[in-house]
Amino acid sequence: MTAIGAPAAQRARGSRDPNLVRLLVMLVFVFVLMTILRPAEFATLADFNSMMRQFPEYGIMAIGMSLTMITGGIDLGVVGTANLSAIVAATFLIGTVPVGAAPAQVVPYLIVAVLLALATGLACGAIAGTLISRFNIPAILATLGTQQLFTGIGIGITSGRPQSHLPLLYSKIGNTEFLHFFPLSFVLFVVVALAVGFLLSRTRFGAYVYMIGTNAKAARYAGLNNASIILRTYMISGLLSSVAGLIMMARANSAKADYGAPYTLQCVLIAVLGGIDPNGGFGKIQGVTLAILILQFLSSGLNMFNSVSNFYRDVIWGGVLILVLVFNYFFSRRANRRAIREAS
């Protein structure tokens, strides 16, 4: 109810999106705060470089998660999908690449491994999407189940051990820096963000995604093939998760079934912070990107305080998530009232 009111009020006040403005203010605030608290370490070039290595893996998953949340669903299986994709690629590489092969010989194997990982991601997404769109299982339960299933398959394949001893060339390529500064993972993130942003704002498919999220029944009566569109959003989410999995694999130089366990909550937090309505229908990739940056600044800043236990991060993520929800509630209620006043 309140959710529908907020964008109406936004439209009434012109094209300026108050959510993006709020996020920008928050970003600047966190940035300035951290710069004041830790001037020697925060916001140095080296720090930016290390941040650019950290956020793409969960950032790309968060974009996939956001896409499914815009349709009114959720994909809690992103981390499981990422790990399973990486495990498939790693198992393939370990099993096939001959020992002591020259880099040139390894390249075809790497290409196949990457394709296998992406195919795994698509398949995982297709499973989740089918369960949700054809069998009408609520997205929450379906993806809780797929998260267990994919992680479980990963554990089963690897007997719970990390898959290491990958060809060196893989992590070498994975850690390439463009212009000696921009890591490959960061470039991938930018490409993904631009592509999904374009998909959502400039294509028919994007418009359908918003329509289904706003009112699935109305979308169906308008002649949309809801099942097929929902299936495709989960497949995109799966594909993006597998990209994130490949990045994680390059960073850790191994694949394991339980890497990145806290990322699930972090992705939900990013989506909600970025202005994606958990009930579906609203939110932009620009907002999600800003939310990713805010979180990365916070987390990098916190890293510089040695006294802060890693476990406080859980407290902070959980706390921030709830605060943002509460804030959005009061904000949209106020905007709603204003919209009613303006209308009358």
Partner 1 sequence: MTVLTSRRMLGRPEPWVFAAIVALSLLVQARSGQFFTGNNLVDLARALIVPGLFSVGCMMVIVSGGIDVSFTAIASLAMYVTDKVILPEDYGGSVLLAYAISAGLGLLMGALNGVLVAFLRLPTLIVTLGTASLYTGLMFGAFAASASGVPPAIAAHGKQILFTAVNNDLGLTSTMPVHVLILAGVLFLVFLLLRYTMLGRGIYAIGGDEAAAERAGFNVRAIKMFLYCLVGALAGVTGIVRISMIDYADPSSMLGMELTVIAAVVLGGTRVTGGVGTLTGTILGVALMTILENSLILMGIPTYWSRAFTGAIIIIGTGVTARQIGLTRRRDRALSTPSKGAQA
Interface residues with partner 1 (CB under 8 A)? 74, 131, 135-138, 140-142, 144-153, 155-156, 159-160, 265, 268-269, 272, 278-279, 309, 311-319, 321-322, 325-326, 329
Cβ(295)–Cβ(61) below 8 Å: no
Compare residues 183 and 238 and give the one whose CB is closer to partner 1: 238
Compare residues 145 and 197 and give the one whose CB is closer to partner 1: 145
Compare residues 64 and 174 and give the one whose CB is closer to partner 1: 64
Cβ(201)–Cβ(208) below 8 Å: no
Shortest Cβ 310–partner 1 spacing (Å):
8
Cβ(69)–Cβ(280) below 8 Å: yes
> Cβ neighbours of residue 231 under 8 Å, at least 6 residues apart?
126, 129, 130, 132, 133, 134
Buried b or exposed e, range 167-197, using 16+ CB within 10 angstroms: bebbeebbeeeeeeeebbbbebbeebbeebb
For residue 311, give the 3-state DSSP assignment: helix
Shortest Cβ 326–partner 1 spacing (Å):
6
Compare residues 108 and 152 and give the one whose CB is closer to partner 1: 152
CA 193, chain centre distance (Å)? 10
Q: How far is Cα 121 from Cα 108, in angstroms, rounded to an integer?
A: 20
Shortest Cβ 320–partner 1 spacing (Å):
8
Count of Cβ atoms closer than 10 Å to residue 11 Cβ: 11
Nearest to 270 by CA among 67, 85, 122, 86: 67
Compare residues 84 and 97 and give the one whose CB is closer to partner 1: 84
Q: In Å, how far are 85, 181, 216 from 128, measured between CA atoms?
A: 15, 37, 18
Compare residues 74 and 243 and give the one whose CB is closer to partner 1: 74
Q: How far is Cα 85 from Cα 243, in angstroms, rounded to an integer?
A: 8
Compare residues 23 and 268 and give the one whose CB is closer to partner 1: 268
